[in-house]
Amino acid sequence: MSRRLPAAVAVALAAMASASAASCGGGTTSINLFSTNWSDDHGVSMENVRARLAGAKPAPGADVVVGVAGNADKIIGLPLGGGPKWTFAHPLDSRPLVAGTVVIGSGGGELFALDAVKGTKLWARPTGGLAAYGAGDDGGVTVISLSGASGRGSVLLAITHDGAVVRQIETDKSLGTPAVVSRLAFVPWSSQYVSAIDLSNGDEVGRVVLREKTSRAWTEGTSLYFGEVGIFRFDGHIKDASRGQATHVQLPVRELPGAPVLMQPGGERLAPIAGATDRIRLFARPSGTEPLTIEDDRFFATYFRIVMGFDAHRGNLSWVHLHDHDVVGGDAAKGSLVLCDELGKISILEAATGAVAGQLDLGEPIKSCTVQVETFAANNGVRGGTLAAQIAKSLESNEAQLATGNRFLLRELATLEDEAATKTLVDLAQSPRAAPPLVADARQALATRRNGARFMVEALQKHYDFLKDELRSPPVGPMAQALAAMKEKGAAPALADHLLDPADTDDDVKQAAAALVVLGGPAQVPQARHFFAMYRATAEGDDMIAALVSAGQVLLKYGGKDGRVIVDYALSDPRTIEAAKERLEVTLQQIELEQGSGGKPDKPEPAKPEPAKPNATKK
Amino acid sequence: MRRISVVFAVAMGLVAADAGAQGAKPKGKPVAGPVAPPFTLTPALQQKLKSADEAQVRAALDDLRLGGKAAQAAAPSVVELLERGTTASLTEAALDTLGDMEAESASEHIAVYTHHRDVAMRRAAVKALIKTKGAAAIKGLRHALSDADPMVRGVAATGLGTLKAKDAVPDLYVALDRKIAEAAAAIGQLCTGADCDQLSAKLGRLPFDVVTGGLDQILFRPTSEITDDDKVKVIGKLRELGTQEANKFLKDVQARWPKGGSARVRQSIDQAVLATAGGAQ
């Protein structure tokens, strides 16, 4: 449905239209386009469109990286397949769009097109301040979505590469990013429809309703796609879209740091300067095969400097690449991921492994970038270690900005069977530079580990030491839990030493003592005895009382008769903590039950404290 | 001028008790030991130590403290009290008592309490170790240099000087670099030759009063331990500093220099005082 534009805009666009109409026979269309008084035709019209295209393939686009530099007034282009870098100076009020073989920019009151490979100016037209936010191209005609003058609605312009306006459509509907194939524009709108518009007469010749939020149409390889959340392919099943039976693929749903999205809404203008949503993004490419899948079975996520590759079927993390600088844009290619960072460096990562397969340079820092990859194929790179090692590298960065991403990676690390994962968790949990939430996560994860005992035992040798500047104790508690679960007897000496380390937390001491009940032996009795003596009458708090009880159990289990004497004395002394007494009594009863009536050992007579004398005086 | 910490002042006091080269008077006053009455370890006293009544135990410990060194025979009974475990206040009193009894045989048992989670116990333990002496005490004090509590570290450093733990000098230098000020005085009591030069070299890098706490000790040690050459070197370093605080310190040393002390060192001090007069602030 068309509507009126403000005078200035209308004059500018009319000038464009009249100039082109005179030469190319184009004109303004105001038909029953984008009407919501439309009944689902069950794919009949779109099937007709498909038949009309009769297998026509989209024209291949350029493989190019386009960056915005300077004060958002300079465009830098770099063809990926070779060819020289180009620059074009022009004010920009939105991020340049790459469509097919052209780059569309808007700013300074005009809309302009550049050859994507050479950077040469194809045409420029006044816009009255409207900003371009979406474009499609079929090698001859470029269709551009512009924001409405009042902030509502959209303007759709179809312009040939030599600057002739083929069609101009204004509507109060929010149009998405269009695609063009053989002079048929495919325009998503109202987040659910895609209308096919014949650019020769402006007629809407087909429409389909999609059962998932859709605001973008694009061509890739030899196929036409629609989508935003997921990806629909324009093929023989598109007619069944309203019944939810179109060919469709989407990324597995999983938790990711910063909740990135695959595509920004196609009806929104992107600022020339990249923001957080450009740094926290998903990348994936439809396979173009039958059935439709995600290319290379990989999707990718960025979180500032962290780049991650995932298995596209199950969503499992496959690799991690810690980039030198924030990633601000990119595109998934066949076999690789092409990324650009804020310093203008282009990195090509192997899709399967994340290995760096190539690097290019825009030559200067950039504000944002747009990458379009159609046929570019990367060389193989060299994988940077195991997944555990890759995660460790990121965790070691200790950057506040990466904290959320690193917490995510730490959770992933905890699921790996690799012993190196245990080592990383141990290192992180005692690193004085690590962020407190990461340390807490690492401790939690450590307790559940069931391998890497040697790293834990090694870490337990460390203690707080002011002189050596070791100001953080090792994660004794979680490691004690894990080592006890693994029945790692070799850890007992180190655990016993931690009973007497005042720098350990109460919880650490509790866990160490509990582990010693399982892992200890006679060699650990001296430390248990000292601990028991120090705290049997002074322990405060549940953790310390639990530790005291465990120390008593160690004495009973491994201390022989002497151990029993110590515990019996404590049970008879009124100064012993009552809560501990009760639990030790229970332990004793259990021991006696286990030993049975026939096997009961000689119970030594404890040296009971002398009873208090009524007239005792204090000197 | 920076203020010397309370701990440091205490340390100086403890150190001074063992100093006194050639009749010299290092800073601080000697600690006069109490005159111990004749002491007898009676069965009744031993019984009181084993009592379940806290007041009785405390009374027994008080008796033993009064007995001082003469009550050493009762040390095993006090150790037994610690080994069995008791309340916090009695534990602290037991540690103090063993210290007052100067029972070296108890050092090993006291040293265990330098690992106690209650900082008051650790402080009591290191103080007791300085009095009970011996290899176990030195080992415990060296360990306590790494304690999380500054007071424990400071007392431990002081104690190592007091106990003439020469092997601990490298640790004390690390401690000094880690801002354990008391280590300077301990180093001053223990260093020889190059070790002492290392302390002089800290002038200008560490607070003046911290370093001179150690240099003062060096200057007043007997010639049998520190040669006149080494003392003159220390004075030379202070003279090179040329500051008002150096002048003030040298004047103080000049005033305290013993009449029978080395004339050569005295002359060096006199010249240094003149040279630093009107020095920079």
pLDDT tens per residue across span A152-163 = 889 999 999 999
Instruction: Evaluate whether B36 touches B212 at the Cβ level (below 8 Å).
Output: no
Higher pLDDT, A56 or B247: B247
Note whether A466 contacts B112, CB cutoff 8 Å. Answer: no
At A479 the pLDDT is: 98
Q: Hey, is the C-beta of B177 within 8 angstroms of any chain A C-beta?
A: no
State pLDDT tens for residues B195-229: 999 999 999 999 999 999 999 999 999 999 999 99
**Region A283-296 average pLDDT:** 93
pLDDT of B25 higher than 50: no
At A40 the pLDDT is: 87
Domains and CATH numbers, chain A: 7-27+93-249 (2.40.128.630), 276-372 (2.40.128.630)
Neighbours of A128 (CB within 10 A): 20
pLDDT of A577 higher than 80: yes
Looking at chain B, which residue has its C-alpha nearest residue A529? B83
The torsion angles phi and psi of A517, rounded to 5 degrees, stand at -60, -35
At A611 the pLDDT is: 53
pLDDT of B26 higher than 70: no
Residues of chain A with pLDDT > 90: what percent?
A: 80
Angle of helix A578-595 relative to helix A541-558, nearest 10 degrees, comes to 30
Q: Hey, is the C-beta of B170 within 8 angstroms of any chain A C-beta?
A: no
Best residue in A465, A467, A499, A615 to probe B by mutation, most B CBs within 10 Å?
A467
Alpha-carbon gap: A466 to the closest alpha carbon of chain B (Å): 4
Q: Hey, is the C-beta of A570 within 8 angstroms of any chain B C-beta?
A: yes
Surface of B (99-118) touching A: CB under 8 A: 112-113, 115-118
Measured distance CA(B258)–CA(A288) in Å, rounded: 99
Residues of chain B with pLDDT > 90: what percent?
A: 80
At B22 the pLDDT is: 42
Measured distance CA(B45)–CA(A610) in Å, rounded: 12
Alpha helix ranges (H) inside B201-261:
208-219, 228-241, 244-256
Which residue among B50, B119, B148 places its CB closest to the CB of A609? Answer: B50
pLDDT of B250 higher than 80: yes
Measured distance CA(B274)–CA(B277) in Å, rounded: 5
Which residue among B56, B145, B146 places its CB closest to the CB of A612? Answer: B56
Q: Hey, is the C-beta of B88 within 8 angstroms of any chain A C-beta?
A: yes
At B193 the pLDDT is: 86
State pLDDT tens for residues A388-399: 999 999 999 888
C-alpha closest to that of A272 among A143, A366, A361: A366
Which residue among A536, A566, A616 places its CB closest to the CB of B56? Answer: A616
Residues 6+ apart with CB under 8 A from A587: A549, A552, A553, A556
Residues of B with Cβ-Cβ distance to A464 under 8 angstroms: 146, 148
At A20 the pLDDT is: 38
Q: Hey, is the C-beta of B84 within 8 angstroms of any chain A C-beta?
A: yes
Which residue among B52, B84, B113 places its CB closest to the CB of A610? Answer: B52
Measured distance CA(A301)–CA(B263) in Å, rounded: 81
Q: How would residue A229 be classed by pLDDT, with cut points 50, 70 and 90?
A: very high
Which residue among B52, B87, B117 places its CB closest to the CB of A502? Answer: B117
Q: How would residue A376 be classed by pLDDT, with cut points 50, 70 and 90?
A: confident
Measured distance CA(A280)–CA(A275) in Å, rounded: 9
At B4 the pLDDT is: 39
Looking at chain A, which residue has its C-alpha nearest residue B83? A533
Q: How would residue A148 be classed by pLDDT, with cut points 50, 70 and 90?
A: confident
Secondary structure of residue B158 in the 3-state scheme = helix
Surface of B (217-256) touching A: CB under 8 A: none
State pLDDT tens for residues B147-202: 999 999 999 999 999 999 999 999 999 999 999 999 999 999 999 988 999 999 99
State pLDDT tens for residues A12-47: 444 444 333 333 334 444 337 888 888 888 899 999
Instruction: Evaluate whether A555 touches A529 at the Cβ level (below 8 Å).
Output: yes
DSSP3 helix / strand / coil % (chain B, rounded to 5)? 70, 0, 30
Q: How would residue B37 be classed by pLDDT, with cut points 50, 70 and 90?
A: low
On average, the pLDDT of chain B sits at 88
Residues of B with Cβ-Cβ distance to A616 under 8 angstroms: 48, 51, 53, 55-56, 59
Note whether A464 contacts B47, CB cutoff 8 Å. Answer: no
Q: How would residue A8 be classed by pLDDT, with cut points 50, 70 and 90?
A: very low
Note whether A619 contacts B117, CB cutoff 8 Å. Answer: no
Note whether B178 contacts A619, CB cutoff 8 Å. Answer: no
pLDDT of B3 higher than 50: no
Lowest mean pLDDT among B25-29, B56-60, B185-189: B25-29
Neighbours of B274 (CB within 10 A): 12
pLDDT of B32 higher than 70: no
For residue B168, the 8-state DSSP code is: G
At A385 the pLDDT is: 85
Neighbours of B126 (CB within 10 A): 32
**Region B65-92 average pLDDT:** 95
**Region B227-244 average pLDDT:** 95
Is the Cα dihedral B111, B114, B116, B119 positive or negative? Answer: positive
At A31 the pLDDT is: 39
At A617 the pLDDT is: 36
Query: What does the block give as tokens for A500?
Result: 């007497």
Residues 6+ apart with CB under 8 A from A39: none
Q: How would residue A505 be classed by pLDDT, with cut points 50, 70 and 90?
A: very high
Q: Detail the DSSP E strand segments found in A272-366.
A: 280-283, 298-303, 306-311, 317-322, 327-333, 336-341, 345-350, 356-361
**Region A248-268 average pLDDT:** 95
Measured distance CA(B54)–CA(A574) in Å, rounded: 10
Query: How buried is B280 (Cβ within 10 angstroms: 0-12 exposed, 13-18 middle, 19+ buried)?
Result: exposed
Measured distance CA(A297)–CA(A47) in Å, rounded: 30
Measured distance CA(B18)–CA(B30) in Å, rounded: 8
Using left for φ > 0, alpha for ψ between -120 and 50, and beta otherwise, residue A123 falls in beta
Q: Hey, is the C-beta of B87 within 8 angstroms of any chain A C-beta?
A: yes
On average, the pLDDT of chain A sits at 90
At A55 the pLDDT is: 78
At A5 the pLDDT is: 42
Is the Cα dihedral A277, A278, A282, A288 positive or negative? Answer: positive
What amino acid occupies position A252?
P
What amino acid occupies position B112?
V
Query: What does the block give as tokens for A386?
Result: 């195991």
**Region B252-258 average pLDDT:** 96
Query: How buried is B92 (Cβ within 10 angstroms: 0-12 exposed, 13-18 middle, 19+ buried)?
Result: buried
At A131 the pLDDT is: 86
pLDDT of B93 higher than 60: yes
pLDDT of A604 higher than 60: no
State pLDDT tens for residues A349-375: 999 999 999 999 999 999 999 999 998
pTM: 0.80
Higher pLDDT, A612 or A417: A417
Note whether A575 contacts B52, CB cutoff 8 Å. Answer: yes
pLDDT of A596 higher than 90: no
Note whether B148 contacts A532, CB cutoff 8 Å. Answer: no
What amino acid occupies position B210?
V
Long-range contacts of A562-570 (CB under 8 A, 24+ apart): A563/A525, A563/A529, A564/A603, A564/A604, A565/A604, A565/A606, A565/A607, A566/A529, A566/A532, A566/A533, A566/B84, A567/A532, A568/A603, A568/A604, A568/A606, A569/A606, A569/A607, A569/A608, A569/A609, A569/B84, A570/A532, A570/A536, A570/B85
Which residue among B53, B62, B88 places its CB closest to the CB of A612? Answer: B53
Query: What does the block give as tokens for B214?
Result: 């150690």
**For residue B205, what are the CA distances in angstroms to B1, B202, B250, B251?**
14, 5, 19, 22
Alpha-carbon gap: B207 to the closest alpha carbon of chain A (Å): 19
Helix H or strand E segment including A551: helix A541-558
